[in-house]
Structure 1
Amino acid sequence: MSSTMRAFVLTGPRQGAVHEVPVPVAVPGEVVVDVERAGVCGTDVEFFTGGMAYLHQGHSAYPMRLGHEWAGTVSAVGEGVDPGWLGRRVMGDTMLGDRTCRRCRRGHQHTCENRQEVGIRGGRHGALAERLAVPAWSLHALPGEVDAVLGALVEPGGNALRAARAAGAGPGDRALVLGPGTIGLLTAMFLRAAGAEVHLMGVDDGAFARGLGFEHVWTRATLPDLPFDAVVDATGAADLPALAVDLVEPAGRVVYIGLSGHPSALDTRALVLKDVTAVGVLSASPGLVDTIAAYAGGDVDPRPLVGATVGLAEAGAVLAGEYPGPKVHIDPRR
């Protein structure tokens, strides 16, 4: 076996290429995974453009290897790892807490102050490479019904599942999702699976969302005056968090899963006077197991969200927005 492998290395804003890098070694407690699919998301694009806050906060630095939405097969295990993982198809948690702090001990390792994030934070290499090393404890086995495409959609799906559950909408409820991108559409799928009447608001005619079976798709100008029991903001627009509170019914719920590049203005008096519950969602970690089950059972099928699957050499073009979305997958074996 070769001692090197191909990986896409981002060396600066809008500067990246495929390099030959050392093959990762399965150190104690970790495994090496042969990557079959890796998704590209908005966070990766922020690193590509240089706008990601972690770069300016000292949590991340170039050069770096992106890729935190992935699926593959375990090809090596380190000391202390159950050899039963060998040959198993898996995906993994992005958020790697230190497992010793108060937050980790309380089951909130995704908020650990000292966490690494695969392909994002703390120098932990990502999955835009032929192989990836991760802690064994972060793995989730994939059943046969969940192929590599679905496996690489578990991480964004876990975020969306948490957002949908935080919205608390089910049969008899009407939910509005702001932003029909990958996370917004996945959230809409989970809300629909829960029995809610789902509406989406975007900036275009919504043809893609309609093609997924959502008939209530609007722009801000065409949004009807309806009571919404829950509103999910899955955008990066600084003005929409306040709009979400304006649109939700009294005693309703608003969920914030999108992040804007600028501070959002939100009048908390509106929350109080409308008795609104507001929830923020960071990370898929608590939702990964149930997302895998939802995909395996066919409750949600996000495969139509993948507009293209390309090879590692096209990673730069994908990050630059040259391929159709809302989601693009990279197969590092190509």
Structure 2
Amino acid sequence: MPARSVTFTAPREVRVTESEVPTPDDGEVLVETAYSAISPGTELLIYRGEAPRELEADETIGALDGSLDYPLRYGYAAVGTVAAVGDAVDEAWLDRRVFAFHPHESHFCAPPTELHPVPDDCSTAAAALLPNVETAVNFVMDGRPMVGERVVVFGQGLVGLLTTAVLSSFPLAELVTVDSVAERRALSRAFGADESVAPEEIDDRFDPSGPSLDGDARGHTSDGADLTFELSGNPAALDAAVGVTGYDGRVVVGSWYGTKPVTLDLGGRFHRSRIRLQNSQVSTLDPSLRGRWDSDRRLDVSWDRLADFDAEGLLTHRVPVDEAERAYELLDSKSEASVGILFTYGGP
């Protein structure tokens, strides 16, 4: 069987191309992919043509060179088995299950330094969610929740649910999530949310008030959230996230809106609220953490968190890579049943 790769060729156009199975160089191994996970945020923007085409694909992942312009091979969550090794590579790598930040492709060559062995207690399919867990860990590290805080998470897609799971391990006063899909709200409660509500219900649940004008310190505490995460990918949700956050609260923006504009109402309560908006993105760590943290340490934490979750419960669809277009159509339709979508390659 030839090697197969997924390529975005134009908005809402996806092709699966074939080529010869590559031969590893002396310092490389050949990986035969079993699963690769679709990134539901970024890849939906690419599929719809809503990603900035001049932007670099990802400067931190060597396999993603070039920009987000078409034609484009993308993806960064491939799991498979080492099928061959180069002459300069230890044969102990043969048959090992490995994870790689690599595009959707049935066979690829890489040096062992770019591979991450899959722990024995992690299923091959679940390992494909490692980047999503790492993203969730990064969001929480940037948000820095404190004991007894009220936390709200907008968006309970794949990354939102994983973020909820990470947050649920903290001794919070309350963890409330927001999503328009009832099935995802049910999953959210299963992954640790105290309560999960529809978007139209959140304003009644959190009614923040501004600080008192006479300087009474008690006026600086309201019924609003202390910490809010916006992870829905919907630009309108950011305004709602700001709206439920209390005085001196923090809003972590993990969504990538691509080319979609964002409109915020900053002329009312926000003017005196001292609310802080912070961007969070997994490609980098907060500069204040870099003295003791690096990406390897964060990835180790992500493997540990992945072992704690029912990751298999988030994998709602497995689509043969030859039917890649169907997978993106499913993602684009925002099917209520879809959360995690894997490409399968006929491997173990």
Q: Which TM-score applies when normalising by structure 1?
A: 0.77
Residues 176-191 of structure 1 aligned to structure 2 (within 5 Å): 176-191=152-167
Distance 1:13 1:34, change over 3 A: same
Which one is further off, 178-187 or 250-259? 250-259
**Partner of residue 21, structure 2:** 23
Offset at 1:35?
A: 1.0
**Partner of residue 50, structure 2:** 51
C-alpha distance in 1 between matches for 2:136 and 2:242: 20
C-alpha distance in 1 between matches for 2:342 and 2:11: 21
More strand by share: 1
**Partner of residue 317, structure 1:** 326
Offset at 1:271?
A: 7.4
Could you tell me the percent identity over the aligned residues? Answer: 23
In our comparison, the structure showing a higher alpha carbon Rg is: 2
**Partner of residue 178, structure 2:** 201
C-alpha distance in 2 between matches for 1:65 and 1:30: 21
Offset at 1:81?
A: 4.9
Task: Give aligned pairs, total.
Answer: 298
**Partner of residue 279, structure 1:** 278
Please, what is the CA RMSD of the aligned residues? 3.0
Offset at 1:158?
A: 0.6
Cα-to-partner distance string for 1:150-187 (whole Å, 9 max, x where unaligned): 21000111101111222222542221101111111110
Distance 1:130 1:215, change over 3 A: same
C-alpha distance in 1 between matches for 2:24 and 2:130: 24
For residue 93 of structure 2, what is the amino acid of its counterpart?
A: W
Offset at 1:202?
A: 1.6
C-alpha distance in 2 between matches for 1:281 and 1:171: 21
**Partner of residue 101, structure 1:** none
**Partner of residue 329, structure 1:** 342
Gaps of 5+ in 1: 95-117, 119-125
For residue 164 of structure 2, what is the amino acid of its counterpart?
A: A
Offset at 1:248?
A: 2.2
**Partner of residue 300, structure 2:** 289
Offset at 1:294?
A: 1.7
Distance 1:195 1:75, change over 3 A: farther
C-alpha distance in 2 between matches for 1:87 and 1:309: 23
C-alpha distance in 1 between matches for 2:108 and 2:121: 23
C-alpha distance in 1 between matches for 2:73 and 2:45: 13
Alignment of 1:236 with 2:233, yes or no, is yes
Offset at 1:319?
A: 0.5
Offset at 1:214?
A: 3.4
C-alpha distance in 2 between matches for 1:228 and 1:264: 22
